[in-house]
Amino acid sequence: MLHHLSIRNIVLIEALDLDFAPGLGVLTGETGAGKSILLDALGLILGMRADSGLVRAGEAAASVTASFEMGALAPDVAETLTDAGVEVEPGEPLIIRRQLKADGGSKAYINDAPVGVALLRELAPFLVEIHGQHDDRGLVNPRGHRALLDRYARVDSTAIEAAWKKWRLAEERLERQRAIIAKAAEDRDLLIAHLEELVALAPQPGEEEELAGERATMQKGERLAGDLSSVQQVFIGSDSPLAELRVAARRLDRIAGEHPLLEEVLAALDRAMIEADDAEDKLNRALDALAFDPLALDRVETRLFELRAAARKHACAVEDLPQKAADMRIALNAIEGGEAEVAALEQAAAEAGRVWRALAEAARAARTEAAGRLDAAVKGELAPLKLDAARFRTAVTPLEQGQWGAGGMDRVEFMIATNPGADFAPLAKIASGGELSRFILALKVALAEEGGAATMIFDEIDRGVGGAVAQAIGERLARLAGVGGGANGGQLLAVTHSPQVAARGTQHYFIAKSSDGIVTRTGVVQLDGAGRQEEIARMLSGAEITPEARAQADRLLEGV
């Protein structure tokens, strides 16, 4: 629930810090004092479109910060925050900050992490529910009516959703298998022919790389054959340079003892011949490695061509040809054994469908029964709220099969008729602003606050009414907020002009506008007991507060 609100430079508000508590908080003040500014500021926190006109005149920027006590985060909220990269420790507050610039643009933060405004709008239904003269969300939106009725009826919507997902998954698996079999059956003959070709070709893993290496080596040998042959002549034949060198060494061996230098010459020749022998050995090995065999090269190139042609034919890499053959076998096996698998999938899908239908039909019965109870409960709340001529109906309408979904097979919408004999229609299309707010209050009380945000705000719900009706509104607001031992304690804020409603508040905030002749400011103060008596007396009597008004204010305060 809302714990703290800090506003800086929003319209007439220069600086304002407010603390809120559980229960019913009332906001009062003269017309034009700036109550709507507070709601606009809170709207920014909830993702409302940023309007640079909200920035106080003469200021470059404005900001609003709200702190919410979350307690245990609902799974949906926790998941939404986690997906957005926002960390919230259990028990820690959720602090949302929105900044506006006078020249346009805005930024949003949650716990100091920058976020998009769309995230604020996504979180808004969990944080604050505002019902006012132009409300188009909350209970007015029929998209949430089924969930509210399900909570009221104690329908396990989670089980219905899980069963629906299981049914959809089973149907998708069935359709996929049918499509595989149908496609494979169409291509059966072609599959058999292609598989026979690949079996005959028998591609092996790594074969292309190995063949390409062999071909490159043989092609290199063909290119180097002439040069290597010329080099080889140095080593072979009786008239080769190496042979002549050996003859020279033998002659020197006979005369080397005649002079020391000749011995050195002989030693050098011996070393040269040893190196020459080593060179000859390596040359011979290189000749063997690079041996060029035209027939072998032709065989290698033919094999490479066959493998690569098959890869192009099947739109894959040569390395993937063995897997392609395995896939073809699987496809053919699917044709042969697919019917049995389809039968099993059909049975699983049918069983999943039966489970979902059973849950959905049970939900329909529960919804229909709960709708009658809810209608009766709302009817009991209408007369005290000066809506005694109105009628309320919870319409549970069966959906066409094509519209079934995770929520069941029904559409739920809250309908009203404000005049005798008038047709029922959606809430937003019939009720005026004041009537709409009172309808929503009646429905909220009847639902015993099933679902909804932790904080509710009613903006001038008592517009145009007074006396007993205002008294009834105040009683229901207090009941809804959990005042006086209510079972559904929460937080409710009411912007009101009614002293009967104001007297019911557990916190009372007074909004006033002041001016020094140059600058106009709006301020808010939380009233103590004496301040409450004075403000309620003002609301009763007008500009001049009389002793009678103060006495009446005391009676209203004592009666709550």
Strand order across the beta sheet in which 23-28 lies? 128-131, 455-459, 491-495, 23-28, 507-515, 520-526
pTM of this structure? 0.63
Mean pLDDT of 187-199: 86
- Give me 229's structure tokens: 């042959």
The tens digit of pLDDT for each residue in 291-338 reads: 666 787 788 888 889 999 999 998 999 999 999 898 888 877 767 777
The tens digit of pLDDT for each residue in 416-434 reads: 888 888 889 887 676 566 6
**Bridge partners for 6 per DSSP:** 17, 65
Distance, CA of 520 to CA of 282 (rounded, Å): 102
Distance, CA of 446 to CA of 441 (rounded, Å): 9
Which residue would you say has higher pLDDT here, 233 or 20?
20
Distance, CA of 432 to CA of 416 (rounded, Å): 12
Beta pairing, strands 520-526 & 106-110? unpaired
The tens digit of pLDDT for each residue in 43-61 reads: 999 998 888 889 998 899 9
pLDDT surpassing 60 at residue 147:
yes
The tens digit of pLDDT for each residue in 58-79 reads: 899 999 999 998 766 666 777 7
pLDDT surpassing 70 at residue 250:
yes
pLDDT surpassing 70 at residue 224:
no
Residue whose C-alpha is closest to residue 155's, from 412, 403, 349: 412
Distance, CA of 185 to CA of 418 (rounded, Å): 64
Q: Average per-residue pLDDT in the chain?
A: 85
- Distance of alpha carbon 207 from its chain centroid, rounded? 47
337-339-341 Cα angle (round to 5): 75
pLDDT surpassing 90 at residue 159:
yes
Residues with Cβ within 8 Å of 354's Cβ and at least 6 positions away in sequence, in order, are none
Window from 237-246, 343-352, 446-455, 481-490 with minimum mean pLDDT: 481-490
Residue whose C-alpha is closest to residue 493's, from 127, 140, 143, 141: 127
DSSP codes, 146-201: HHHHHHHHT--HHHHHHHHHHHHHHHHHHHHHHHHHHHHHHTHHHHHHHHHHHHHH
Whole-number pLDDT of residue 402: 92
Residue 137 CB neighbours (<10 A): 14
Which residue would you say has higher pLDDT here, 271 or 351?
351
Mean pLDDT of 14-41: 88
The tens digit of pLDDT for each residue in 97-132 reads: 999 999 888 999 999 889 999 999 888 888 888 876
| Contact between 491 and 2 (Cβ < 8 Å) | yes
Mean pLDDT of 527-541: 92
